[in-house]
Amino acid sequence: MHSAQHRRPRVFDDSIPGTLGRVNDAEHELDCGLLADGFTCQTVNGTSFCGLASECYDLKPACEGDSVVLCNAGRIDKIDCKSLGFTGCNAMWGTCSPSIYDEFGP
């Protein structure tokens, strides 16, 4: 039987679905694949997390025309607000509008 200190997790090994790694600056044995379909261990600027990609980590949602661009589990996604029935994108909040955020100022 191995003690916990002798079992070292594989860190940032994307070749194995559901890898093991560091999260919030501490070693954890995680099977990222169990959290959600397609999730693996990702690293962006030295920060690790379970996600879909390593394109972003703390990207704030922003408008690009009538679409909102956001970080979705490490993957940059662009969502067309009008195709979802909204009138457009609220540049102040980076959300589709109308929404509850439209009532609030900066």
pLDDT digits (tens, 9 = 90+) for 96-105: 999 887 777 6
Closest CA to 19 of 64, 57, 61, 50: 50
Is residue 32 a contact partner of residue 18, using CB atoms and an 8 Å limit? yes
DSSP SS3 for 90: strand
2 versus 58: the higher-pLDDT residue is: 58
pLDDT computed for residue 21 by the predictor: 59
Confidence of residue 45 (pLDDT cuts 50, 70, 90): confident
Is residue 86 a contact partner of residue 96, using CB atoms and an 8 Å limit? yes
pLDDT computed for residue 33 by the predictor: 86
Partners of 76 in beta bridges: 71
Distance CA 68, CA 80 (A): 7
* Amino acid at the residue 54: S
Q: Beta strand 21-23 with 26-28: parallel, antiparallel or unpaired? A: antiparallel
